[in-house]
Amino acid sequence: MKFFKSSPSSLQEIILDNEKLPQHIAIIMDGNGRWAKKRFLPRTLGHKAGVEALRDIIKTASNTKIAYLTLYAFSTENWNRPNDEVSALMELLVEYLRKEGEELHSNNIKINTIGDIDGLPEFARKEVLRAKELTKNNTGLWVNIALNYGGRDEIVRGIKRIAKDIKEDKISIEDINQEVFSSYLETANMPDPDLLIRTSGEYRFSNFLIWQSAYTELWFTDILWPDFRGEDLLMAISDFQKRERRFGKV
């Protein structure tokens, strides 16, 4: 596959190797607030602008034949933001799913979530369930939206499920290994992310996929999320393809 990235001075060619595509890409979509601040706008308009980026990234990932895209949309720690910002984010989510659900569906995209959606306000939970139900049989790009998601919370909830199954004699303590443990997480039946992208120049996980990212390749950019576009995703994939993954071997 060949693409062109337009930089201010020149057209840069991006060539991707179809044989070496990451199967699973995870993205920490960060920098909406700073994008708005730079323009003297309220933070919520930064989130709104972030939806444009989201649209473009889903389209590009789908066209590039990526299998799984996991997007960090709302963390378990984001509840500590001002109420009006939390509400605006929930409303934006609902608006997005209502407006774009059908189009995602017609593009064979499957909407899934990771995180505790029971903790979402009812109007948001309902819309999320509706989008999941609508797209559940689709076979194209699988989009995981991380909502009320925290890696530590996911691990603790996984442990509780294991404990319950032990108590009910469904498994024994000896059965537990890394693979079994993974199957109790929200990402059960998905490959670990091959590539994790974080925008906005921050270099941390912020509680995202901490178990699953043990051997994930990391890619950081200063671009703020609302400015991130498909061609930036392709650049990240192109960089990924130049890396040598060793998984502890020589």
Residues with active-site annotation: 30, 78
206 binds ligand IPE (CB under 6 A): yes
Residues 25-84 that bind Mg ion (CB under 5 A): 30
Closer Cβ to ligand IPE, 68 or 74, answer by number: 74
Q: How far is CA 125 from its chain centroid?
A: 18
Partners of 27 in the β-ladder: 71, 197
DSSP summary character for residue 9: S
> Is residue 30 at the binding interface for ligand IPE, with CB under 6 A as the rule?
yes
Kindly report the backbone phi and psi dihedral angles of residue 46, in degrees, each rounded to the nearest multiple of 5, phi listed first.
-65, -45
- Mark the binding-site residues for Mg(2+), compressed into ranges: 30, 217
94 binds, among ligand IPE, Mg ion, none (CB under 5 to 8 A by kind): none
Q: Does 232 bind Mg ion (CB under 5 A)?
A: no
User: What whole-number distance in Å separates Cα of residue 182 and Cα of residue 162?
Assistant: 11
Question: 3-state SS string over 184-242?
Answer: CCCCCCCCCCCEEEECCCCCCCCCCCCCCCCCCEEEECCCCHHHCCHHHHHHHHHHHHC
How many residues bind ligand IPE (CB under 6 A)? The answer is 18
Instruction: Quickly list DSSP for 43-67.
Output: HHHHHHHHHHHHHHHHHHHHHTT-S
Residue 78 binds ligand IPE (CB under 6 A): yes
Nearer to ligand IPE, 37 or 132 (CB): 37
Minimum distance from residue 108 beta carbon to ligand IPE (Å) = 26
Closest CB to ligand IPE among residues 28, 66: 28
- Which stretches of the chain bind Mg ion, using CB under 5 A? 30
